[in-house]
Structure 1
Amino acid sequence: MATSCLAGFALVLALSANLSAAFPQDYAGQELLDEVRQLLSLASTNVQQVHGHGNGDQSDVDESSTDDDHDIKPDRPRVVKNWPLTPLKIGQVSGVSVNSDLQPVIFHRGDHVWNEYSFNESHHYLQGSKGPIKEPTVLTLDPKDGKVLGQWGANLFYMPHGLTLDRHDNLWLTDVALHQVFKFRPGELQPSLTFGEAFQPGSSQRHLCKPTSVAVANTGEIFIADGYCNNRILKYNAAGGLLRVIPNPPEFLSLQVPHALALIESMDRLCVADRENMRVTCPRAGLYSVQGKREPALTIQQPDMGRVFGVAARGNLVYAVNGPTSPLLPVQGFTIDPQTESVVDHWAPEEGFGNPHALAICPNNSAMYVVEIGPNRVWKFDLVRPTN
């Protein structure tokens, strides 16, 4: 029986590989394959259990580390001076990600500003009569000099927030005024997936309330931080079917404005910028087993952390930025080791941050971008190995 399972599993893997090669540019086909891979990862876990190779959770191996691993200093962000070469004409920059060509893509608010007049107590947007932002809100920049290579998104969004690019360069955007999340395929101007109801905040499975961020696994699973009002994370399959709500009793995890998400797939962890709790917390993502392990989230919190706005994963580390919290706390970046639940480095540009909102790391791990709301700017950092 076990031999038959292994043979069938190997056959499906081979078919998946052949289909990927045959349709490399078929995005719909690739998304279908993501769903297949999601099932295959579960099947692989079950086969391992049949043969007695582990307990079905790959992260048991991935999370093991030696003392030497923790003695290695993490790469440090170093500001790229005079980048961008010429100032960008942008509003509040709320989101950033990096595409497969290593080009940063930013999401900004144009002439719209989030202030005390934007929403009422029930979270309904009060400035809808102004209409959507008339200028392009999504800009692709040249990584060499920061010049605008492409732009779109005019007359679509009201209050941009989060931007994520997945491994197929699908673009995931959140709009806190619309209370919606959108998936756009490359080159398309109509969303292929929409979550939430336009201008209708709510806490049901069909509604969102000021969603903040999206993370997408290589298997296609989708995580949405439903952010300012509901203080929850929704996990979907690649087709948009709801799989799980985080936290879900008896799981104990109290979130207060989950503001950004970062997946560490090798550890099966979803790291959350838990803004108002002033910490980063990393519950199980549940990518490798149906139930997932019932164990506490990894939690990183220290006195100078402040309100954490942005997180991004690089290997098994997380880079994070805080925002204005108290005159006694500096606005700065942190390098975090979730495995040891510790901050291993602090960093910031010499001139200091103002109000950083999000950050992203290149797919090849060479550079990092940080975007700010007031001053509205984009920073580029090289990630370099410390010399001492």
Structure 2
Amino acid sequence: MQLKAGGGGGSSALILFSIIGILNAEIFESYDSQKASSSSVNERSKDGILTDVGESGAPEEGNIEAQLQLEQIRVSKPLGEVSAVAIDSSGNLIAFHRGDRIWDKDSFTDDFKMSSSLDAIKNSTIFVIEPSTGKVLAEHGENEFYMPHGMTIDSKGNLWVTDIGRHQVIKLCGKTFKPILILGEKLVPGDDETHFCQPTDVAVSADGQFIFIADGYCNARIMKFDSNGTFIEEFGNPPETMPAKNGEFFIPHSIALIEDLNLLCVADRENQRIQCFSAGLSQGHRQTSPTGMFVTKAENIGRVYAIREKRHYLVGITGSTEDSESVEPQIFVMDMDTGKAETYAKGLEGHALAVDTNGNVFIAQMHPNQILRMQL
């Protein structure tokens, strides 16, 4: 599948807004049809490659790696838990990982503070990788981060990373990898305009005017800042009852800004859905619609860990749940112009995604700590 260019912003927006509800139906149909095939099982071979087993119980022709050109990036240096990946302007793969640190039950106190026994990770936590060979071209971030999580690269090549241990969002220069803007108070969780509590992801408008932050594991909100890091507004809150209402979040784990549609989509992980809202981006001197206005959603799609958008295609990956009746982990691709969705690589899990201009999807995994590449 090639990621074709989307239509013009105006016509695409009209199509999108006209399919509210249809978008949901397409997702339900796609996932439910696969879920109904209860005898279809994914098994791991000894080398860890997923092999699809059909209704007959025999492997179908080839395996998922062969069918989808799924391959492991053989990174030349050991990776820790890979929490995020991104593609820079040179086509290099940037990995944000946790070195020798593992997030476990002792990492945080009951009030979400980083354990006092844990200092900054001594290893480098940012790898610049040549994707075709896996060679680590450069490494950065030694003694800087406590628990790496999200990452995005803005239009000027700057990296924006979230550290759920530091409770901060850090803008790094794309050339020096040194901090040039830090939001939040180091190691201090909070819920006001100047604090975060385990922030998960960042999205930045192309002109750099607006910064959106998913905050996160503790606060269940989306925050909006200007280019200087000054707070503008926020929206979202935890569910009061279940099922959750529109605009309520249970771990907003990943966000994607679809700028020409004035949309900010949120991977509402534990509510097993994607919600899309008006991003409140202005056109000239006129603001098109208020930030946080609910637009549409796709529900019952599994625990959505990551979403990224390229040319009006929203690519996402889901994870498993303890519920045996839940949707099987998989990668999905949603055409935002039509509302149609396709699913790929059933049984494949990941924590984060990056998509390049050629339709390569890079998948960050934990345990095993690795990066996979899949051609759509």
Tell me the TM-score normalised to structure 1 length.
Answer: 0.74
Query: After superposition, what is the alpha-carbon deviation per residue over 1:325-375, rounded to whole angstroms, capped at 9, x for unaligned?
Result: 1344321111124456x55111117xx42x41010111x243111101212
Match of 2:258 in 1: 264
Q: Does 1:308 align with 2:304?
A: yes
1:101-112 correspondence runs (5 A): 101-112=90-101
Residue 252 of structure 1 and its aligned partner are, at CA, apart by 5.7
Whose strand proportion is higher, 1 or 2?
A: 2
Which SS does the other structure have where 2:179 is aligned? coil
Deviations along 1:218-266, one digit per CA (max 9) or x if unpaired, are 1211111110111111111112122221239xx9611111101111111
Q: How many residues align?
A: 310
Measured in 1, the distance between the counterparts of 2:297 and 2:222 equals 16
SS at match of 2:260: helix
> Which residue of the partner structure matches residue 74 of structure 1?
none
Measured at CA, do residues 278 and 147 of structure 1 come closer, stay the same or move farther in structure 2, by a change above 3 Å? same
1:193 aligned counterpart, secondary structure: strand
Q: Tell me the amino acid that sits aligned with residue 276 of structure 2.
A: C
CA distance in 2, matches of 1:254, 1:365: 35
Equivalent in 122, 128, 134 of residue 140 of structure 1: 128
Counterpart Cα distance in 1 of 2:355 and 2:180: 25
Three-state SS of the structure 1 residue aligned to 2:111 is coil
Aligned to 2:3: none
In the alignment, structure 1 residue 149 sits paired with structure 2 residue 113: no
The whole-number CA distance in structure 1 between the counterparts of 2:174 and 2:352 is: 22
Instruction: Output the CA distance in 2 between the equivalents of 1:324 and 1:88.
Output: 28
Does the CA contact (< 8 Å) of 1:253 and 1:297 recur in 2?
A: no
Q: Specify the alignment match of 2:317 in structure 1.
A: 321
Q: What corresponds to 1:96 in structure 2?
A: 85
Partner of 1:286: 280
Q: Deviations over 1:249-295 (max 9, x none)?
A: xx961111110111111111011111111101110111125654265
Name the CA distance, whole Å, in 2 between partners of 1:338 and 1:82.
27
Hey, what does 2:375 align to over in structure 1? 382
Structure 1 stretch displaced more, 184-193 or 259-268:
184-193
Higher-Rg structure is: 1
Give the distance between the partners of 2:249 and 2:80, measured in 1 at CA. 29
In the alignment, what sits opposite 2:107? 118
Contact 1:224 1:233 in 2 (8 A): yes
Q: Is the 8 A contact 1:114 1:159 kept in 2?
A: yes
Alpha-carbon separation, structure 2, partners of 1:365 and 1:336: 17
Identify if the C-alpha distance between structure 1 residues 88 and 247 changes in structure 2 by more than 3 Å, giving closer, same or farther. same
1:267/1:316 contact within 8 Å kept: no
Q: 1:97 touches 1:106 (CA, 8 Å); kept in 2?
A: yes
Give the conservation status (yes or no) of the 8 Å contact 1:106–1:138.
Answer: yes
Cα shift at 1:118: 1.2
Deviations for 1:60-104, whole angstroms, at most 9, x for unmatched residues?
Answer: 54313499xx99xxxxx9744554245651111101111011111
Query: Distance in 1 between the 2:75 and 2:173 partners?
Result: 30
Matches within 5 A, 1:170-319: 170-220=158-208, 221-247=210-236, 253-288=247-282, 291-293=287-289, 295-302=293-300, 305-319=301-315
Runs (5+) with no aligned partner, structure 2: 1-7, 27-64, 238-244
Residues 153 and 160 in structure 2, CA contact (< 8 A), matched pair in contact too: yes
Is 1:64 aligned to residue 60 of structure 2?
no
Gaps of 5+ in 1: 1-57, 72-76, 384-388
Conserved 8 A contact 2:12-2:337: no
Question: 2:112, 2:189 within 8 Å by CA — same for their partners in 1?
Answer: yes
Provide the C-alpha distance between the structure 2 equivalents of 1:343 and 1:135, rounded to a whole number of angstroms. Answer: 43
The residue identity in structure 2 corresponding to 1:317 is: Y
SS at match of 1:63: helix
Quick one: distance in 1 between partners of 2:111 and 2:126? 29
> Within the alignment, does 1:368 sit opposite 2:358 as a pair?
no
Asked whether the 8 Å contact 2:76–2:136 carries over to 1, the reply is no
Deviates more, 1:228-237 or 1:81-90: 81-90
TM-score (norm 2): 0.76
Query: What is the deviation of 1:59?
Result: 5.5
Determine whether 1:345 maps to 2:345.
Answer: no
Provide closer, same or farther for how the CA distance between residues 309 and 343 of structure 1 changes in structure 2, counting only shifts above 3 A: farther
Identity %: 35
Contact kept? 1:299, 1:338, Cα under 8 Å: no
Residue 159 of structure 1: how far off its partner (Å) = 0.5
The code of the aligned residue for 1:259 comes to H
Q: CA separation in 1, counterparts of 2:143 and 2:343?
A: 39
Question: SS state of the match for residue 224, structure 2?
Answer: strand
Q: Distance in 2 between matches of 1:199 and 1:184?
A: 18
**SS of structure 2 residue aligned to 1:356:** coil
What per-residue deviation string (whole Å, max 9, x for no partner) do you get for residues 131-184 of structure 1? Answer: 211111001111212221111111111100001111111011111011001001
* Between 290-299 and 275-284, the greater mean CA deviation after superposition: 290-299
Q: Give the conservation status (yes or no) of the 8 Å contact 1:217–1:263.
A: yes
Question: SS in structure 2 opposite 1:266?
Answer: helix
* CA-to-aligned-CA distance 1:164-220 (integer Å, 9 cap, x gap): 111111011111011001001122243111111111100011110000000011121
User: For residue 167 of structure 1, what is the aligned residue in structure 2?
Assistant: 155
Cα distance in 2, alignment partners of residues 319 and 130 from structure 1? 35
Name the structure with the higher helix share.
1
